[in-house]
Amino acid sequence: MHLTTVGREVWRGARKAQELVGAGAGDPTVQARLQKLKQVEAFRKLKVDWSEIQSLVGISRATYYRYKRKLQDEGLKGLLPKPKRPKRLRRKGHWSPECIIAIEALRKQNPTWGRWPIWLALWKRGFNISERTVGRILAHLERRGRVESVAAFLARARRGKTRRKTQRPHARRKPKSYVASSPGDLVQVDTLTVTLGPGEVVKHFSAVDLFTRFSLAEVHTRATADLAAGFLAHLITHTPFPVRAIQVDGGSEFMAEFEEVCARLGIELFVLPPRSPKLNGHVERMQRTFRDEFYTRPLPSRIPELQSELNAYLEYYNRERPHRALNGLAPLEFLAMMQGESVPQGGESQMC
């Protein structure tokens, strides 16, 4: 629709505004509001309903009359947007230096205190101040760097809580050049948690030689460094070849006494990097064999009887059970073949 006429009152207000030099005539908001007034006047002459005018023009009836009254009273200047700045600004001059110093001291003494505990402490000291004012003063001090925000203090405190590194004088990472080329060059050791029944949990220590796949194991009620050291002594005593290096994960059971025994016996101790169980793949696979072949059978819950059953299984595993990686030979058969000897019988072996 092309509008050719507008209301007299709109034009009268526009002419009155022209007398005021620079009274918002070039402001885009003023021009847009003036255009909306003209459109509403045109629709009103056509007797269009107010609800339809509001949807077409985008201003309500109350807004139209407000714009119109402002235009009549102040000219185009009345259509300028009102400043959003408060007429009465909160002044900071009424904050007493004693109050600011007290709030700063309380925050520094108690870095996690917010405005309420600080306000309560001030109230007990006789300060006449509101909780909101305490919050404003705290924000003022934080902006100027005189105190630290609670969030910044907590974040810094969490970053500063670094875990104390455990001193491991003997253990180290396995060099990439280290290769197990003969029996005992590298034995992987790990622990396995096994549930035998309701409330019946045992800790299973496993060890496997990478070259011969010879394996030993023990069961205990716990997995401690002292018990791990005892298993290491059992391993050294019952392995039919000298052990030169052992590889473990970062578990606490392989620290302290366990590491001391390795150092005392002159055995290299290699520790895996964090979250790297695949680097201990041989013993991990051996533990799966224990789960599938040994712990699926009916077993006693008492440790001595369970260890006796485990020894019998290890006797079978090391002497008779064929191993795919050894071309169908058992670990002791493979070891005997490598050494050019016959496989020792049950009474001749060093196994228990």
Looking at residues 163-185, what average pLDDT do you find? 86
pLDDT tens per residue, range 299-343: 998 999 999 999 999 999 999 999 988 999 999 999 999 887 655
pLDDT at site 72: 87
Ranked by mean pLDDT, which of 53-62, 166-175, 322-331 comes out on top? 322-331
CATH 3.50.50.60 fits 187-339, yes or no: no
Structure tokens at 227: 């018990």
* pLDDT, tens only, 241-260: 999 999 999 999 999 999 99
CA 140 to chain centre: 33
What integer is the mean pLDDT of 135-163? 86
Domain boundaries, the chain: 8-79, 97-157, 187-339
Radius of gyration of the chain measured on its C-alpha atoms: 43
Distance CA 245, CA 237 (A): 15
Give me the pLDDT at residue 164, please.
59
Q: At what angle do helices 97-109 and 115-124 cross, to 10 degrees?
A: 120
Least confident span in 134-143, 159-168, 227-236: 159-168
* pLDDT top residue among 208 and 157: 208
The yes-or-no verdict on residue 1 having pLDDT over 50 is no
> Would you say 290 and 284 are in contact if contact means Cβ atoms under 8 Å apart?
no
User: pLDDT at position 348, please?
Assistant: 43
Q: What is the pTM of this model?
A: 0.54
Per DSSP, 97 falls in state: H
Percent of the chain with pLDDT over 90: 59
Q: Count Cα atoms within 13 angstroms, Cβ side, for 12.
A: 8
**How many angstroms separate the CA atoms of 32 and 24, rounded?**
12
Statement: residue 12 has pLDDT above 70: no
Residue 206 DSSP SS3: strand
280 near 286, Cβ under 8 Å?
no
Max distance between CA atoms of the chain, in angstroms, equals: 123
Read off the pLDDT of residues 17-40 as tens digits, 9 standing for 90 and up.
554 434 556 788 888 888 888 988
pLDDT number for residue 21: 39
DSSP 21-48: TTSSTT-HHHHHHHHHHHHHHHHHHTT-
Residue pair 268/245 in contact (Cβ under 8 Å)? The answer is yes
pLDDT at residue 166 above 90? no
**204 contacts 292 by C-beta, under 8 angstroms:** no
Closest Cα partner for 29 from 76, 85, 86, 70?
76
Helix (H, G, I), strand (E, B) or coil at 345: coil
